[in-house]
Chain A
Amino acid sequence: MKIKKKILLVRNLKKTFTMHLLASLKVEALNGLSFELEEGDFGVLVGPSGVGKSTVLQCIFRTYKPTSGEILYLTREGQWVDLARCEERNVLELRREEISYVTQFLHCPPRVPAEFVVAAPCVLQGRPLDQAVWEAREMLRRLRVPEKLWKAYPMTFSGGERQRVNLARAFISKPKLLLMDEPTASLDAKAIESVVEVLEDMKKGNTTVLAVFHDKGPIEPLVTRVVPLVPKSPGEKSHEGLCPARSYGQGVWR
């Protein structure tokens, strides 16, 4: 059996928010989370609402600055980088070349046609515009976004159409690590089916996925690893020991 490469090691990750406007209220979102992912893994973060699933994704993407801990990521060039601490321009480069993040909400400039919104990451990676637009159209077609919308502005789309544009934009850059936060929440069964198909292809292409799903059913066959997050009960000091490596994939996924 082929030994798989580890590509993401999260160690003792902590994130505390200090809200200065509310008398410096401290909110602890993560307290010492550790897990790892191997290349080609499809990992899902599970746990009740408010347990910090999205915070994990945002710490990895550096939308949040982790308070402490390490997020070691193996780049395409084979270097280990600590995403929790590396320089901003390195984060920007990794976001452009290797790490994509899809949320439930599409943020894009106003008055830019959908096909250009989707093509943008390709152009930033250095592909010529016409090729990027061609790839964008292929991806929009696969995700069943009606052709008549390709030249329209996504701000005018329905929730599900917007979300498909959002997904298309993340898929098209062929990331090495794909982070997704409830990406299928606003999609109907047919659309989810097409998303799952693309994800299957990406998995064959060795993309590693870490995601949060509200409705687990349709993606269940893809999942190779479960990262459970456990709410902190009073008197307990940390998550540590509650989600050790050995508990992956055991029973939590239902």
Chain B
Amino acid sequence: MKSTAAPILEVQELSKFFGPGCPQCIEATGPEQGNNVCDTCSTVVACHGVSFQLYEGEVLGIVGESGSGKSSLLKCMHLDEVPTFGSMYHREVGMGRMDLFQCSDQQKRAIRNKLLGIVYQSPHLGLRMELSAGANVAEPLLLQSLRPRFSPIRARIVELFSQVELPVSRLDEPVRYFSGGMQQRVQIARALAPSPSLLLLDEPTSGLDVSVQASVLDLIKRIQWDTGLPIVVVSHDLAAVRLLSQRILVMRHGRVVESGLTDQVFADPHHPYTQQLVASALS
């Protein structure tokens, strides 16, 4: 089989604590204990011991209720947060042997700008509302080159706008004039601008109404088709994750309680929490 290639991304034993941390933290939290706050030192164990690999062309879904640690995990992966423990390797950084979390801040910025694209649930987090839509998409491109030139960047923005189905005529309007669904498309265009090798989506469709949700999902699916870009999508919307991903991790109280092929986890869930989750979903 062809599946011998190295993974694009490997996350090993990633943990993120908010608080001082004590020797009891890990034992006192988790799905068995039913909470993610350590009784002894009040540390929040946002996620603990998360490991996975991501291969070319794969979409990995991370599902779980609010507070299960899925967004903390994604923030660590985008190098926005420094994890308490763990390491992460990217195929294109230091021959795949360099721990991204150990990089200098400067290296992290470069990695973020070049290799990682992110789309947040709220456009306010990912976009500068007072700037034009075009400027928002241009920003990562401007950061990439030492002597940016206007016309190639402008051309790239026009290309990205048509890729995400935004009207090119509105390129120079402030992004705050745009509707929620369009702002989400601007975020996607911005994330794709530097041709990243990994796209991170944090609840990309959660704030949108159903018709817009469907069109954004359709767009993500199409981008994935056209580019084969690996994607990690975090969402509590099971239907969206089911549609997008081939594999999923189910998180609860900061731990991965189950992982597997998406259709298998939905059809044959093993962990009590996953069974509850699947049984509660509106089909």
B276 near A63: Cβ-Cβ < 8 Å:
no
Stretch touching chain B among A84-92, A162-170, A173-181, A199-207 = A84-92
Q: Are A21 and B1 in contact (CB under 8 A)?
A: no
Measured between alpha carbons, how far is A90 from B268 in the docked complex, in Å? 19
Count residues of B near A (Cβ-Cβ below 8 Å): 26
Q: A58-B267, A93-B3 are in contact. Are A88 and B214 (CB under 8 A)?
A: no
When each residue 88-111 of chain A gets 1 if its CB lies under 8 Å from chain B and 0 otherwise, what string results?
111111100000000000000111
| Nearest chain A CB to B230 CB, angstrom units | 12
User: Do residues B215 and A21 form an inter-chain contact, with CB atoms below 8 A?
Assistant: no
Within the assembled complex, what's the spacing in Å between the Cα atoms of A89 and B217?
Answer: 23
User: Please, how many angstroms separate the alpha-carbon atoms of A26 and B138 in the complex?
Assistant: 57
What are the residues of chain A within 8 A of B159 when measuring CB–CB? none
Which of B27-35, B75-83, B147-155, B256-264 faces chain A?
Answer: B256-264
Contact A21-B3, Cβ < 8 Å, known A62-B264, A89-B55, A109-B221: no
Q: Does B218 contact A (CB under 8 A)?
A: yes
Bitwise, B267-283 to A at CB < 8 A (1) or not (0) is 11011100110010000
Instruction: Given A75-B1, A109-B217, A109-B243, check contact A19 B264 (CB 8 Å).
Output: no
**Known contacts A65-B270, A75-B1, A88 near B263 by CB under 8 Å:** no
Residue contact B261 to A62, C-beta cutoff 8 Å? yes
Whether, in the assembled complex, B163 has its beta carbon less than 8 Å from a beta carbon of chain A, the answer is no
| A188 CB-CB contact with B under 8 Å | no
- Residues of the A chain whose Cβ atoms lie less than 8 Å from the Cβ of B260: 65, 88
Chain B residues near A111 (CB-CB < 8 A): 214-215, 218
**Is B272 a contact of A21 with CB atoms below 8 Å?**
yes
A134 close to B (CB within 8 Å): no
Distance (whole angstroms) from the CB of B209 to the closest CB of chain A: 14
The dominant DSSP class at the A interface is mixed
CB pair B267–A63 under 8 Å, yes or no, is yes
A107 to chain B, nearest CB (A): 9
Given A20-B272, A21-B275, A58-B267, verify A123-B225 contact (CB < 8 Å): yes
Cβ of A236 within 8 Å of any chain B Cβ, yes or no, is no
Task: Report chain A residues within 8 Å CB of B263.
Answer: 63
Residues of A within 8 A of B1 (CB): 75, 77, 79, 81, 90, 93-94
Tell me if B279 and A21 are in contact (CB < 8 A).
Answer: yes
Residues of B within 8 A of A88 (CB): 247, 260-261
Q: Would you give the shortest CB distance from B52 to chain A, in whole angstroms?
A: 10
List residues of chain A with CB within 8 A of the CB of B276.
20-21
The answer to whether A253 has its CB under 8 Å from any CB of chain B is no
Chain B residues near A157 (CB-CB < 8 A): none
Q: What residues on A are CB-neighbors of B275 within 8 Å?
A: 19-21
Most chain-A Cβ atoms within 10 A of its Cβ — which of B2, B55, B263? B263
